[in-house]
Structure 1
Amino acid sequence: ILTPQYEAAWLPWAVQYFFLIGLATTAGITAACLVFTPTDSEARRLLPSAVAALLVCGLAAPVALLADLHQPARFWHFYAHFTPWSWMSIGAVMIPIFVALTLLFAALWWMRKEGALKAVAILLILSCLGVLLYTGSEIMVIRSRPLWNTVFVPLNLALTAWLGALGFMQLIARWLAGGMDAFPGAIWRRLGLICLALLAVCGAAWVVSGLLGFDSSFDAAKELFMTYPSWRSSLIGSIILAIILLIAMSAAPQRLCNGPYSFICALFIMTAAWVFRWTLLMGVQTVPKYGAGLYLQSLAVGSEGLLGMIGILGLFIAFAAVVTWFLDRYPSYQSMNRPAAHSASI
């Protein structure tokens, strides 16, 4: 069987963007909700990690988005020729608002402005939900791909993003003030297990709706798994991955705050969220729309492929280094002013 080689519509950059924007929005929702918990509660101790994750991913994601436009300089076209029926055009309006609210929320938290912080937190939640809706719908509306054309795509993107955000919070906490000793392992584990339970419910609902004939994506996936061994392997791998995640996140809170274990666990969780997006975006593009045999696609080495992905990873690490250094050295606005006040008194 001869199969053609097609150019991928979604470049590997898109995986980085959907990964980072998902982590940013779900970290934003988590941080905004934590603002309404009592100041001395254990849940509030997760807020520094959530804000740091929000800042890092919220700043890195727009860069990946610009890179995915094939011609980054043409981003202004979305504003010069606004099309309200296009999710991409709507997203071009939502993203700047989200980034502005992210910076404002982080600044108010750092300055300990509780009253204004709660007001901005509500706006941030609405903005995050809007961005999650736009990113999920941007994929879901493509009817030529039955595997994408289902309401379960936005739901799974949101839930796996939250899982990845929790993993990043666990990872970045070690470089903030107090380190892993200040990290609330019990609260983090509870949120992680809730996320896994919601993913299981979402998966079960997809299967049931497919069996009842309400979702054509289930039939497309079933045919795919029965026809191609590589997709059967991916299904088996996904089940094994879910079991490992459940076991890893069910550990005792003390172990979840242990240096080596928490580091490996966090990286594993983030990798799982990233692999889901790679399979959904890049893997599905190899599925033939017509004919037989998977489309042939290869990962380019240059800026449109591997090099570009490494570049975004480097930017992500750079933002993480700057944010964690700053918050570790100056956990709050008051801590920045304290040395100056002391010098003035002398």
Structure 2
Amino acid sequence: MTINELLTPDQPITWLPWAVQYFFLIGLAYGALWLGALDLWHKVPDRRLQMLAAVLMMAAGVVAPIALTADLHQPARAWHFYAQPRFSSIMWYGAYLLPLFSLLSMLLGWLLIRPSLALRGAESDRVAAMARLLCLGGWSGDRWLKPLALLAALSGLSIALYTGLETMVVEARPLWHTPWLPWLLALSALLAAQSALLLLNRLLAGWQQRTEAGLQRQIRPTLALLALSLLGWTLFGGASATEAGALYRLDPSWRLAAHWLLLTLGLLATLLLVGQRLGARWQPLALWGTALLALHLVWGLRWLVLIQGQLVPKYGAGAYFYQIAWGPEGVLGILGTFGLLLALLVALSELVRASSVPSTGKASTAKASPTHSAREAI
């Protein structure tokens, strides 16, 4: 009898938590862009939703490329994408698609918040002076909104495809190599954007019931479709689902993470089912719970796929052991990225806090006046 012994040297993972932050934040950016752009074609537009979407897409759209650059390990090598054409590389195309998306999303966001900037500029403090400067005059940009929104939405679609395909093309990892992955990432990004906007509507001055109700109506079918898609991937995902099943059986850390996500999904579904039946006293808590659980679910899904998915060797047997670092390549990087996002949200909220930008239509109900203090913003 011949015994063949397999040795698998422990290798560090190559995609660090920076990648999870990028996938999460860029999803917030293009998800918010889609929601804000789509509202422009509604018969009765929700100006509050458009303003919130602009704030979120601009903040997340700035931080996401920073996280991606950090994940390159040597950020200065990013110029190689432009100096050396690689037509067979998905990331080479992304080097052009991502700056284009950033440019279009910033232009669209700026046009959407210009009415708020104009009202903020009517005040007499230093921030008002900056708001007047950012308005670039008193001209109306409404005629440019829909054409630019269409271009930006298509650019957002290209980024959703790019971020899914750059992972899916790795044939050495069966877990990633499935057409289900781009769809799951894009759909979960939309759920995250809806949840983040739900929180921003509460946090930024000018809360509106119509905006909150509309986002709550959108979250339910999005979550249902995401749950059905996860079930479809489990049943018909081929080698990807088989790899996930093997990880579930053999890797305790994968099993723990999977159980945690399933628990989060179950709690979120339960909260959405019973939230409307709760009294008025408990409904705000239910709303906060819904939004935070949804964001946690979306971020956790990316962690499970991108980080836990690398614990299986591309070639060999067994599984790697991963312990998150406390420094910039781990916990500090995650906290720093979210801290930068929060700082940008605070800055943008201060620029637009003077106006709730009331929606046109009887369904709109503003609970806060345009003269709210800065403490009532984020």
Deviations 1:14-66 (CA, angstroms, capped at 9, x unpaired)? 11111100111111111110111124x5x554222222211111111111111
Matched AA of 1:217 = S
Matched AA of 1:245 = L
Q: State the identity %.
A: 38
- Relative distance call for 1:255 and 1:170 in structure 2 (3 A) is farther
Q: CA deviation at 1:162?
A: 1.1
Q: CA deviation at 1:292?
A: 3.9
Name whichever structure is richer in helix by fraction. Answer: 1
Secondary structure at 2:353's aligned position in 1?
helix
> Is it true that 1:89 corresponds to 2:92 in the alignment?
yes
Contact 1:172–1:324 (CA under 8 A) maintained in structure 2: no
- Relative distance call for 1:165 and 1:52 in structure 2 (3 A) is same
Matched AA of 1:91 = G
Contact 1:57–1:316 (CA under 8 A) maintained in structure 2: yes
Deviations 1:121-151 (CA, angstroms, capped at 9, x unpaired)? 1001100000000000000000000000001
Which residue in 2 is equivalent to 1:196? 223
Matched AA of 1:201 = L
- Relative distance call for 1:262 and 1:255 in structure 2 (3 A) is farther
- Relative distance call for 1:52 and 1:182 in structure 2 (3 A) is farther
Matched AA of 1:158 = A
Which residue in 2 is equivalent to 1:267? 292
- Relative distance call for 1:280 and 1:255 in structure 2 (3 A) is farther
Which residue in 2 is equivalent to 1:30? 35
- Relative distance call for 1:116 and 1:256 in structure 2 (3 A) is farther
* 1:10-89 equivalences in 2 (<5 Å): 10-39=15-44, 41=45, 43=46, 45-89=48-92
* 1:137-286 equivalences in 2 (<5 Å): 137-179=165-207, 181-182=208-209, 184-210=211-237, 215-250=238-273, 251-252=275-276, 259-286=284-311
Contact 2:11–2:320 (CA under 8 A) maintained in structure 1: yes
**What is the TM-score when the length of structure 1 is the normalising length?**
0.86
**What is the TM-score when the length of structure 2 is the normalising length?**
0.79
Which residue in 2 is equivalent to 1:336? none
Which residue in 2 is equivalent to 1:341? none
- Relative distance call for 1:34 and 1:255 in structure 2 (3 A) is farther
Give the Cα separation in 1 of the matches to 2:354 and 2:8.
Answer: 57
Secondary structure at 1:131's aligned position in 2?
helix
Secondary structure at 1:111's aligned position in 2?
helix
Q: CA RMSD in A?
A: 2.6
Q: CA deviation at 1:184?
A: 2.2
Q: CA deviation at 1:110?
A: 2.4
Q: CA deviation at 1:196?
A: 1.1
Secondary structure at 1:133's aligned position in 2?
helix
Q: Which runs of 5+ in 2 are unaligned?
A: 1-5, 116-140, 358-378
Give the Cα separation in 2 of the matches to 1:259 and 1:225.
Answer: 36
Which residue in 2 is equivalent to 1:335? none
Of the structure 1 ranges 273-282 and 137-146, higher mean CA displacement relative to structure 2 is found in 273-282
Deviations 1:155-214 (CA, angstroms, capped at 9, x unpaired)? 1111111111111111112233412x445232112211111122123123223424xxxx
Contact 1:3–1:296 (CA under 8 A) maintained in structure 2: no
Contact 1:185–1:257 (CA under 8 A) maintained in structure 2: no
Q: CA deviation at 1:327?
A: 1.4
Secondary structure at 2:13's aligned position in 1?
coil
Give the Cα separation in 2 of the matches to 1:266 and 1:255.
Answer: 17
Contact 2:254–2:304 (CA under 8 A) maintained in structure 1: no
Q: CA deviation at 1:115?
A: 2.2
Contact 1:45–1:184 (CA under 8 A) maintained in structure 2: yes
Q: Which runs of 5+ in 1 are unaligned?
A: 333-346
Which residue in 1 is equivalent to 2:369? none
- Relative distance call for 1:290 and 1:256 in structure 2 (3 A) is farther
Contact 2:54–2:110 (CA under 8 A) maintained in structure 1: no
Which residue in 2 is equivalent to 1:105? 108
- Relative distance call for 1:76 and 1:46 in structure 2 (3 A) is same
Which residue in 1 is equivalent to 2:319? 294
